[in-house]
Amino acid sequence: MAMNLKLQMRLSQQLIMTPQLQQAIKLLQLSRVELEELIDQALVENPVLEESAEHEAAPEESDEAGRLREEREAAELRAKETGLNDQEWQQYIESGSGVINERYSSSEGDEPNLEATLATADSLPDHLSWQLEMSNLSPIETALGEQMIGNLDEDGYLTVSLGEIFHWNPEMQAEILQEMKKGGLRLPIPEFTDSSLFDSKHQSQEKAPPRQRKKRGPKEAPVFEEDAVQEEDGAVPMSVDPAVVAVAEGVLRFIQTFDPTGVGARNLQECLQIQLRAMKLEDQLPYAMVTEDLKLLESKDLRRIARRHKVELEEVVDAYKLIMSLEPKPGRPFGGDRPQHIIPDVFIFKTAGENTENENQVGHYRVVLNESGIPRLRINDYYRRLSEVNTAGDGSLTREYIQEKIKAGNWLMKSIEQRQKTILKVTRSILKHQYEFFEKGISHLRPLVLKDVAEDIQVHESTVSRITTNKYVHSPQGLFELKYFFTSGIDQGQGEVISSKKIKDMIQRIIEGEDVKEPLTDIQIADILFQKSKIRVARRTVAKYREALNLLPSNRRKQMF
């Protein structure tokens, strides 16, 4: 078969993602805070960009002339809005009508700076490390305690086994054994439950090859089962000396005496036991219930607990009340980030009447973009003039550089403007589709998908998805993320579809109003929805929505008293 070379012409279309287009798409999905950070970074990296002042006096005006002009414009604006002249406006102000009381401020200007009101919240590791440093421990015990504190989760639980601590710090094991020989440890070492464990373990290591190590026998204490840590790539588990594990157990028990009570536990049972021991209740019924009947406590089977311990039901109820008063998450006061205040990207205001001339007006509501806090950019006049000057030699390179930066700055400003316009369009479309929600509340929220808004404003669905991510709207009904208004629905037949968020809200209200001693099951909730609102929902759907709302099932919502 002969092979020939020939030329062919083909006409094709393809989308090329230029850096400018990628930047424009990226801007759509940025949150307000991220957009402000990007603008600040652009001001630093692009020398031709500068922040324009929102109110600038004309160059020929003096400061006094500019102040008088601003006062005159403000008076004209007030007269236009209220229909009052300056004299009538002064009387209106002096009468106290419509005046919002200002917060107290010192007349001497001695208000504290903003920096003086800021404070760093104390974290759980910092709080525990401070207590550890105040303890009179040896350096190796302090280092071991720091390792344990660093492996606590935000609830105060130890997330690793004692063997894993030495897996990542093998040299610490040798240091502990050396300190034990010197007698330099300060904390008491817990006794072994099996005195032959230490010798038998080392004998098995000597007789067996590394990859044929014998498994531990059934007589070994379970506390050491977790201390053979499997290394990566199928290597032989690293052995941890039982004496070292005992030292680590002693340090852990010492940390468990720190504030908050219950910290350093490895599970819920140990956490509750630590708190009961701090209350000197080791020999009492609550401690026995936590140790032996944790599953029965979870199911609230108090009668069976009373029969097992051969006590009266009233004693079990009192012990149950005490256990329920304990803190299952000791690190809760320290956990989590500080709350962040959300600044809405767009506002929806209710107006007195309809204004068909304003494109941002929908019925009695007006959509207003929140542009406060976002710097307004412009190209510096000096660099713009410099880019238009014809130069030769090395100056031409400077001119090309400035022109490139001006082009990048113009594209950034255009992308930001397009982003703001798209947010406005999407919010206006959501307002049209969910008008009844803004009028009457969540019970009138209708199903809405991205395609509905995309077809309304003639953009792609991906654009709507990006523009509604991490964007918030402030409305008379509250503060919502724009994605909140996109919800699926349940078909009720005859073309009627009910929003899933509406059903979730109804389920939550039903559970909040139930009898806590006789909570409603999922089947009963489904029956109530049909009887009161004619909404047909399967039991599985009720259970699914209930779990999405973080609501427990009926057997766990039941309260004994």
| Domain contains 4 | no
pLDDT of amino acid 517: 86
- Same-domain status, 425 and 395: yes
Q: Would you state the pLDDT for residue 198?
A: 35
Q: What pLDDT is recorded for position 267?
A: 95
DSSP code string of 126-148: HHHHHHHHHS---HHHHHHHHHH
Judge whether 147 lies within some domain.
Answer: yes
415 and 512 share one domain: no
Answer with the one of 290, 324, 358 that is the final residue of a domain. Answer: 324
Point out the domain boundary residue: 264, 294, 324: 324
Are 277 and 380 in a shared domain?
Answer: no
Does residue 356 share a domain with residue 249?
no
Question: According to the model, what pLDDT value does residue 113 have?
Answer: 54
My answer on whether 463 and 520 are in the same domain is no
Residue-level pLDDT at 1:
63
**Calpha distance 84→378 (Å, rounded):** 38
| Residue-by-residue pLDDT tens, the chain, 561 positions | 678 888 888 888 876 767 777 777 888 889 898 999 999 999 999 999 998 865 444 444 445 445 545 555 555 544 444 444 555 444 444 444 333 333 333 344 444 454 554 556 678 999 999 999 999 999 999 999 999 999 999 999 999 998 888 887 888 988 999 998 888 898 988 874 433 333 333 333 333 333 333 344 443 333 333 444 444 433 334 578 888 889 999 999 999 999 999 999 999 999 999 999 999 999 999 999 999 999 999 888 899 999 999 999 999 999 999 999 999 999 998 866 566 778 899 999 998 877 777 888 888 899 999 988 888 899 998 888 888 776 444 457 888 889 999 999 999 999 999 999 999 999 999 999 999 999 999 889 999 999 999 999 999 999 999 999 999 999 999 999 999 999 888 877 776 788 889 899 999 999 999 998 889 999 999 999 999 988 999 999 999 999 999 999 988 888 877
Q: What CATH number does residue 527 fall under?
A: 1.10.10
Is the domain of 509 the same as that of 469? no
- Whether residue 146 is contained in a domain is answered as yes
Domain endpoint, select from 450, 485, 520: 485
Does one domain contain both 268 and 354? Answer: no
The β-bridge relationship of strands 49-51 and 377-379 is antiparallel
Looking at the structure, tell me whether residues 457 and 424 fall in a common domain. Answer: yes
Instruction: Let me know if residue 175 belongs to a domain.
Output: yes
- Residue 417 is part of which domain span? 346-485
Asked, for residue 44, whether it belongs to a domain, the answer is no
Cα Rg of the chain, angstroms: 35
Give the H or E element holding residue 492: strand 489-493
pLDDT given for residue 94 in this prediction: 44
Instruction: Tally the domains of the chain.
Output: 3
Alpha-carbon gap, residue 220 to 494, rounded angstroms = 68
Q: Is 14 a domain residue?
A: no
Residues 313 and 362 in one domain: no
Model pLDDT, residue 73:
55
Give domain status of residue 53, yes or no.
no
197 domain residue, yes or no: yes
Where does 339-474 have alpha helices with state H? 381-387, 394-433, 435-440, 450-457, 461-467
Same domain assignment for residues 195 and 282 = yes
Question: Does 374 share its domain with 458?
Answer: yes
What is the residue-wise DSSP string for 22-67?
HHHHHHHH--HHHHHHHHHHHHHH-TTEEEPPSS---TT--HHHHH
**Token duo for residue 513:** 């109003």
Residues 389 and 458 in one domain: yes
